């Protein structure tokens, strides 16, 4: 019996306090966060523009931006318009940019199951050739993995035994 089979036969054998999905959801797991990230990926940087794009209440947007900065997904960059006080705009960090495949996957799922009958509101295309983009899973050997049924979870180096 391999470690995966052992874990499946004894569900309480390993702890999940260090679950990557749970830790990610602790930062991202709500609507306003994804809407702020959507706007950031579309090049929106300033508070008023983020608020207009997300339609988030001011306090909610402030809290989400603070959380995204704290989590190092966004960084504040000061700017000053002539005759006005200094303000901050919000730019994606590398950690934030690494969320792009997740955002595209969410969008494509929504396009497939939630779009208007006329179709999706936005189509993402490759800047160089104009073809629509998609997100695909591949193994380290380059094989496409078309279904979750073709994936085998294995315990990783961070797995911890219970008790």
CATH 1.10.8.80 fits 3-161, yes or no: no
Q: Give domain limits for the chain.
A: 3-161
Q: Are strands 87-92 and 160-161 parallel, antiparallel or unpaired?
A: unpaired
pLDDT of residue 33: 97
CB 145 within 8 A of CB 151: yes
What integer pLDDT is reported at residue 9 of this predicted model? 47
- Using only C-alpha atoms, what is the Rg of the chain? 20
What's the pLDDT tens digit per position in 9-60? Answer: 455 566 666 788 888 999 999 999 999 999 999 999 999 999 999 999 999 9
pLDDT at residue number 11: 55
Q: Look at residues 91, 100, 89, 120 and name the one whose alpha carbon lies nearest to residue 34.
A: 100
Residue 153 has pLDDT above 90, yes or no: no
**DSSP for residue 142:** S
Does the pLDDT at position 163 exceed 80? Answer: no
Q: Determine the pLDDT at residue 158.
A: 83
């Amino acid at each position: 019996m391999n470690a995966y089979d052992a874990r499946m036969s004894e569900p309480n054998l390993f702890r999940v306090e260090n679950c990557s999905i749970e830790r990610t959801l602790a930062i991202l797991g709500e609507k306003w966060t994804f809407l702020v990230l959507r706007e950031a990926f579309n090049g929106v940087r300033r508070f008023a523009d983020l608020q207009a794009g997300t339609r988030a209440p001011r306090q909610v947007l402030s809290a989400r931006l603070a959380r995204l900065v704290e989590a190092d997904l966004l960084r504040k960059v000061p700017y000053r318009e002539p005759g006005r006080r200094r303000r901050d705009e919000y730019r994606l960090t590398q950690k934030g940019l690494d969320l792009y495949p997740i955002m595209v996957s969410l969008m494509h799922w929504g396009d497939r199951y939630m779009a208007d009958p006329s179709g999706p509101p936005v189509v993402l295309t490759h800047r160089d050739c104009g073809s629509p983009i998609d997100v695909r899973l591949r193994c380290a050997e380059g094989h496409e993995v078309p279904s979750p049924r073709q994936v085998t979870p294995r315990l990783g180096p961070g797995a911890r035994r219970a008790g």
